[in-house]
Structure 1
Amino acid sequence: MTDMPRFGVSVLCRRADGVLLVRRGKAPYLGFWSLPGGLVEFGEAMRDAASRELLEETAVVADLDAEPTEVFDLITRNDAGETERHFVIAMFRATYLSGDVCAGDDAAEAAFVPLGRIGELDLTPGTADRIRHHFTRA
């Protein structure tokens, strides 16, 4: 446990009527589906980190928006109410350009999922609402 938030990025990547998701291969939320992403490295710009994480986790190259479309907190607490994890996440919207989807890095699985099937998956907290909101705005 650390007493400082960690800064990360995620990517909402669209292709036709689908959104690119990864099934997490490690904690937190092991086995849950989420947007591809990860931590920003020291000295790395957010957008560069988002492109890197997208490629590492899915083998996909995409055209990312110039700026994040949303920045949000992901805070988990234990039963005593103490903070266990605190991430600040910058989410970028993107449009698929190339690459055959293949899970890599810490992703157990990766796939483009039709928007209508999002509700069938176990998603990390807030992900379904975030996808629906931003998918329809793009």
Structure 2
Amino acid sequence: MRVAEGARPVIRCVGGIVFDPNGRLLLVRRLNPPGEGLWSIPGGRVEPGETDHEAVKRELSEETGLSVTAGELVGSVTRPAADRTYEIHDYLCQVESGVLLAGDDASDVRWASAAILTTLRTSDLLAEGLYTALDEWGQLPRS
């Protein structure tokens, strides 16, 4: 965590953008704030001493039961919260192994097609700004 003088703390976070062989996007439903009850890509805070890639692997394992390889940085966003700012760096990931199962900070987990993602978006069940960021980065579901 870093803090600019007179500013709110900045919390470094990571997310994993994962597609299945059918082009569906991996989503988790957040169990806790921020974003409680909303669907998002899996991820969370980078712990002290961790690299971004280590944090992505850990977070995806904890939230989805999947072991992944973290690849290239796709994009970054900043999300202000009440008393801090989250700086989120999203990486493209490939599944190595595991069984998809919600865990840790996730109340549910699913592979989302383009139609499901659109439904979540129009129902206000998608994390704020996620659809726009994925669209700008060319990372929407392909099915």
User: In 1, distance between residues paired with 2:138 and 2:93?
Assistant: 11
Tell me if the contact between 2:8 and 2:83 (Cα under 8 Å) persists in the aligned partners.
no
User: In 1, distance between residues paired with 2:132 and 2:117?
Assistant: 10
1:79 counterpart residue number: none
Matched, 1:135 2:135: no
1:113 counterpart residue number: 112
2:128 counterpart residue number: 125
User: In 1, distance between residues paired with 2:138 and 2:60?
Assistant: 18
**Structure 2 unaligned spans of 5+:** 1-6
User: Which 4+ residue blocks in structure 1 deviate beyond 4 angstroms?
Assistant: none
Identity of paired residues, percent? Answer: 29
TM-score, structure 2 normalization: 0.82
Tell me if the contact between 2:9 and 2:83 (Cα under 8 Å) persists in the aligned partners.
no
Deviation, structure 1 residue 85: 3.3
Matched, 1:28 2:34: yes
Matched, 1:47 2:53: yes
**Structure 1 unaligned spans of 5+:** 77-82
Q: Return the letter of the residue paired with 1:129.
A: T
RMSD: 2.1
2:16 counterpart residue number: 11
Tell me if the contact between 2:14 and 2:45 (Cα under 8 Å) persists in the aligned partners.
yes
User: In 2, distance between residues paired with 1:135 and 1:97?
Assistant: 20
User: In 1, distance between residues paired with 2:76 and 2:90?
Assistant: 6
Tell me if the contact between 1:12 and 1:131 (Cα under 8 Å) persists in the aligned partners.
no
